[in-house]
Structure 1
């Protein structure tokens, strides 16, 4: 799959080999488009050619004006591309299971940017990122519902939340009210204070309320799965990004005054030790820190952001401003910490944070909200009409039944032909739902709803998604062209792989035959045996010069040189020893005469060159040039394939339409 995609991209790159203009779609499409060309019985229109040209803008280094020659070159590439695709179709390569499987994988990726869900999801991602550029500080009062709460209980809790909001706005201390009334257990310690947090750290209803009010303002009662909250916003400021700190920990025992006093004295002494000029943080940490996981690595912790660690630690850590700055001891539930600032990172870009934001959104209740919005838009856009009376009766009928029982009941002939809903006027019956449930192996968790209601909702969602996909394929020109581009690319790869690339690699007899017929392409120029010593240290040059002065070229000189000089200094020089062409070698091409031993300077580096036997120009052996032969053989097979296709298919070019396209392209 990955190799196919790589080759497909390479093929697409062929259209980008020359400068191209920036191509924009026409303001108005012709009411009755005429084909740009016809291959066999298939019409090909200009929009496909323009689409491929515009997609290849990514490969151009700078804007350039397209002249007639460049246009003709790109047009010829396009004709060849469409010829090969036509041949692949006639061979039935678009009917294979492998093609269907691979094309369906591409479609899943290609359709995403065009879907309603994607645009809503992108909006949520950007909203979350924009909120994350701030941190807010808030307190809250939580009022939970009693077990098995009735409607009256819910109303009573709501009214109590309203009452507390009013009292606070009239002057009552919000945090004291939290201490007295909040059902959040932590309120007994923090009086409702949540410290600083940012987006995606609270449930989304709570987050929406906190980010939607001004500093000092108190929210309306907010309903979440925990109950009703009222929120007081105390501060908001820019997100400081991330920091990395190290720490020294001295553990303390809650409820033991003696142990607590001992820990306090110990951490004080450590802090005093760190103030000495000769003290080394890593050594003090290794000796005294009681965090076994970090004490031997200088107490280093991962990068932290606002809301990612306990508030007491976070507050002190983010108050440090200079790298290397050390905090006084700070108490947390784990004990006493001394914190040192190691590094800072500014708030990241959207591109860096997008994967993390998307992962969090898809795992929290926002994903359900997005899907609900998608379904509502789809129902409106695709004329969804539901048989509400039937659906309500079935939900009631199957209230406490399992999946197996529901499937069995739906086989009732009196039920299966009843219409559940229609999309764009096309009816869907209960038998379709039964088949969907039977063919679906996924696990459905009904939550607070029964199995039938959950399966029905999933069926509606899938049906609407299929309608949206069909709508895009029939009506969205950009999606149509993109889909066709990838479909044709897969077919092109398969055809080329079978007839050119893989064939050239595996056809050893064909390689040899091609080599023998074209041996004049594979010729050595005049060559020579040569030993080249490139000096790295000039203090050894005199010794190497003396060593080589009375020597003739021999292969064993390499080991003799290494044993003589490199045992004491392995970096003194490097050696190349082989047979080389004079003219193409970067060093030998600079040799001015034919003396056996030569010494030249290149980039202020001394090179000693000892020449051996000269070998006259002549043909390369097949094994010496097999890689180049295969490459040329592939080009030959490709050219032969195109010649055959052009002989087998009638190609009609609409010159008037082609000229219109050229004028359109060159006037952009």
Structure 2
């Protein structure tokens, strides 16, 4: 689903449909007499201008071509009836519901929760707790018993010490006494987080209830958040299946010794790090904060470095061996930078119920909902003990057609609420009176209907919502079209793909490579000695014993099949057998022993299959677009296009 969503967003890059009256807009072009208005094109162009990487797409004529092709594809998708597919309608409806959540909120409550969340993410709290489990729907007797038990444990903890009691009572079944360590906002359920952050350090909270049961918390410490770190690393991994490869722990120790000898971290990372994504950048990684790195040991070491420029000792994670260098320490970002991220977290958190409650209250006022007591009393009067046992049914004289309430002009009948009562009768607490049962059920029923009504009418009430939904609607349609017409080519066009490969074989070549050993050192004099030893065909292990020692690593060797782009190979290196001259490369000196030169070779179909299919799909799409231009008549209003160019240029 995630992949499909991102592809849809990419496809819809060139569209942002604007709904408006045709007579208020000029027509820029038409596709089979279906108009496309200038305002739509200008909005799309301006919206995407800063996102476009290809400079040619910033040219208005080039952009118009892309946009015209997009409209042709949409025309074809509708002609094929893809917008009528059940799967299309279902996915669009699911997205509409998800999108609506972002537009259905109470901003005042949300803003207050966002500010609170930012404050809590700025700190870490260290706490232990004791929990007595009790079900959310437990009867009053069991609930009171659990509450009294947690009160007694608090009294004991105040006298005997919290940890003494915690360890004694923990049984891992009905009572839990746990050390929680440090945590910040969003790491616990909201009720628990609330109490933890409001309880002073060194004290024990009053009992409180979450969905798990009754808790007491002992807050032990509160500290400022550790913020963000920027580091570089050198990583060495085990070469699976290579019995001749050096042990990674030995190789990382050799690199560490060179660092201690004063050699440059970035240069060593470029030469020897097995993390290819960062090696070319001197090992530098993107900034990260607590919880973002999947390797806990890596995070701990990174945050343990104190001063910019500090370098860690070699350590191991599940990914390999590492050495880290600290480049930057940054505190929690300013509130405005984190605001959007916090809003999204709150939507997924238990505190979102506070927002939902505020929203339904707001909707009641917006739609001026009026409920008569007599209507609620009527439903309380027709319930009986069968309802608590799930056997209740409506009386014969039930008033089906009576209107219960209205949301604007939409009426909701007695029958609709009665159906809800029937469906949910097994979920009622026997301790409640029938009047309370009706009140609780009606609150849930009304809130549900208010939210449904708001969602159904959101496209008319919110222009922004309408724009975004239209973008996704058309992007989803185009995704289905491209998938069925172009992207599934590998399944349906196997013969054509092989013919394409035979016609374009010259595009699929393995480059010229060398079987080589590269010796790297910070000292040119050392490499002169190594060069002579390599020329004498001395084994690498013997050369290392002669040149290096336990405390002094002068040279590191890299043995591999290498093309011209390999990180260890100097620029403009000539591929020929034998010992090379000494090069200055990546802030070090290198000498290369070329054991063999492998000429460029033709890739087989199977070897190049992925690239072939991708190229074939591009070829097929270009051919298909020509067919669409022949099938549908596109007419551009040249006078209007001149005005559009002038308007965009003058902005």
Task: Say whether the fold is shared (TM-score over 0.5).
Answer: yes
Q: Which is further off, 403-412 or 499-508?
A: 403-412
**Which of 443, 452, 455 is equivalent to 1:466?**
452
* Aligned 8 A contact 1:85 1:492 in 2: yes
| CA 1:35–1:14: 2 relative to 1, 3 Å | closer
Counterpart for residue 534 of structure 1: 519
Q: How far 1:515 sits from its partner (Å)?
A: 0.8
Q: How far 1:633 sits from its partner (Å)?
A: 1.1
Counterpart for residue 70 of structure 1: 59
Mapped to 1, the partners of 2:421 and 2:65 lie a distance apart of 51
> What is the RMSD computed on CA atoms of the aligned residues?
5.3
**Which of 598, 611, 614 is equivalent to 2:580?**
598
* Aligned 8 A contact 1:504 1:510 in 2: no
Q: How far 1:575 sits from its partner (Å)?
A: 3.1
Tell me if 1:634 matches 2:634: no
Counterpart for residue 592 of structure 2: 608
Deviation per CA, 1:262-282: give whole Å up to 9, x if none: xxxxxxxxxxxxxxxxxxxxx
**Which of 461, 468, 483 is equivalent to 2:469?**
483
Tell me if 1:302 matches 2:182: yes
- Unaligned segments of structure 1, at least 5 residues: 16-22, 136-184, 191-250, 255-259, 261-287, 294-298, 317-332, 552-559
Equivalent residue of 2:457, what SS? Answer: helix
Counterpart for residue 578 of structure 1: 561
**Which of 648, 663, 666 is equivalent to 2:631?**
648
Q: How far 1:624 sits from its partner (Å)?
A: 4.2
Mapped to 1, the partners of 2:472 and 2:636 lie a distance apart of 24
Counterpart for residue 125 of structure 1: 113
- TM-score with structure 2 length normalisation? 0.57
Counterpart for residue 104 of structure 1: 93
Mapped to 2, the partners of 1:594 and 1:639 lie a distance apart of 43
Mapped to 1, the partners of 2:642 and 2:196 lie a distance apart of 63
Mapped to 2, the partners of 1:655 and 1:442 lie a distance apart of 69
* Aligned 8 A contact 2:405 2:412 in 1: yes
Tell me if 1:59 matches 2:51: yes
Q: How far 1:53 sits from its partner (Å)?
A: 3.7
Deviation per CA, 1:96-138: give whole Å up to 9, x if none: 33323322221122223333x3435424435756998999xxx
Mapped to 1, the partners of 2:425 and 2:93 lie a distance apart of 19
| CA 1:420–1:58: 2 relative to 1, 3 Å | farther
Tell me if 1:3 matches 2:3: yes
* Aligned 8 A contact 2:106 2:358 in 1: no
Q: How far 1:485 sits from its partner (Å)?
A: 0.5
Counterpart for residue 113 of structure 1: 102
| CA 1:309–1:5: 2 relative to 1, 3 Å | closer
Counterpart for residue 495 of structure 1: 481
* Aligned 8 A contact 1:128 1:357 in 2: no
Q: How far 1:87 sits from its partner (Å)?
A: 2.3
Counterpart for residue 24 of structure 2: 32
Bigger radius of gyration among the two: 1
- Unaligned segments of structure 2, at least 5 residues: 124-149, 169-178, 185-192, 205-215, 227-330
| CA 1:653–1:466: 2 relative to 1, 3 Å | farther
Mapped to 1, the partners of 2:561 and 2:648 lie a distance apart of 53
Q: How far 1:655 sits from its partner (Å)?
A: 4.0
* Aligned 8 A contact 2:31 2:632 in 1: yes
Equivalent residue of 1:622, what SS? Answer: coil
Q: How far 1:629 sits from its partner (Å)?
A: 1.7
Counterpart for residue 502 of structure 2: 516
Q: How far 1:440 sits from its partner (Å)?
A: 7.5
Corresponding pairs, count:
471
* Aligned 8 A contact 2:118 2:342 in 1: no
Q: How far 1:605 sits from its partner (Å)?
A: 1.9
What does 1:129-528 align with in structure 2 at a 5 Å threshold? 301-302=181-182, 308=196, 313-314=201-202, 349=335, 351=339, 359=349, 361-363=351-353, 367-377=356-366, 379-380=367-368, 388=372, 391-392=375-376, 394-398=378-382, 400=384, 402=387, 408-409=393-394, 412=397, 415-434=399-418, 443=427, 449-504=435-490, 507-523=493-509, 527=512
Mapped to 1, the partners of 2:506 and 2:378 lie a distance apart of 82
Equivalent residue of 2:404, what SS? Answer: strand
Q: How far 1:479 sits from its partner (Å)?
A: 1.8
Mapped to 1, the partners of 2:493 and 2:534 lie a distance apart of 48
Counterpart for residue 285 of structure 1: none
Counterpart for residue 234 of structure 1: none
Equivalent residue of 1:308, what SS? Answer: helix
Mapped to 2, the partners of 1:133 and 1:561 lie a distance apart of 57
| CA 1:126–1:30: 2 relative to 1, 3 Å | farther
Equivalent residue of 2:182, what SS? Answer: coil
Mapped to 2, the partners of 1:521 and 1:638 lie a distance apart of 19
Equivalent residue of 2:59, what SS? Answer: helix
| CA 1:252–1:531: 2 relative to 1, 3 Å | same
**Which of 90, 100, 113 is equivalent to 2:79?**
90
Q: How far 1:394 sits from its partner (Å)?
A: 2.5
